[in-house]
Structure 1
């Protein structure tokens, strides 16, 4: 019985250490991430001193927001109630380019980055 178990255990260990199985797993995970794509998204926008984030509706993933025009911050502040607490979420509909994760600053704490291409609605 031991003669069969020892070679069988060794075979199982060698199979588990096969790097090609790990590469296949990494490849399939990479293919499911849709980065650098432009799309229109609706969700919750939060802007503050240390946060520019957007969480799409029906999702729990928060993205760092980049708005090179500066218009998004102005529109966010314009619809924010006067008695709003810091980092209040406001509904927004944005046309964005979804990018991969960042390694810089506060953006590194988020799953990815959304670059705003067009502002469709804020606070509606």
Structure 2
């Protein structure tokens, strides 16, 4: 399975660059999990969260600027993949590879977390 970072919002450039650094360091899945948790639990507050998550996965957040030449091709690849696959959102979540959650049926982050917990325990 190919993990394609589909990111958006006002911090999209920072998110892509941070994900690229995480990928270069081999911690992109951990970065993605922490970022997803922050968003779902409404703890995402922009660049501060992104930089904190980089540090949590063992990446020096200061490297965002110093490694920009290294991350630029990756960021361009992410954008090309998203555009090529015409991905503009991720409308479902797969739990344990077998249970699909349609986010259109979810009305809140708490409801989503409860549904995921229920599926994990089933």
| TM-score higher than 0.5 | no
What range is the shorter-chain TM-score in?
under 0.3
Greater percentage in helix? 2
Pick the structure with greater CA Rg. 1
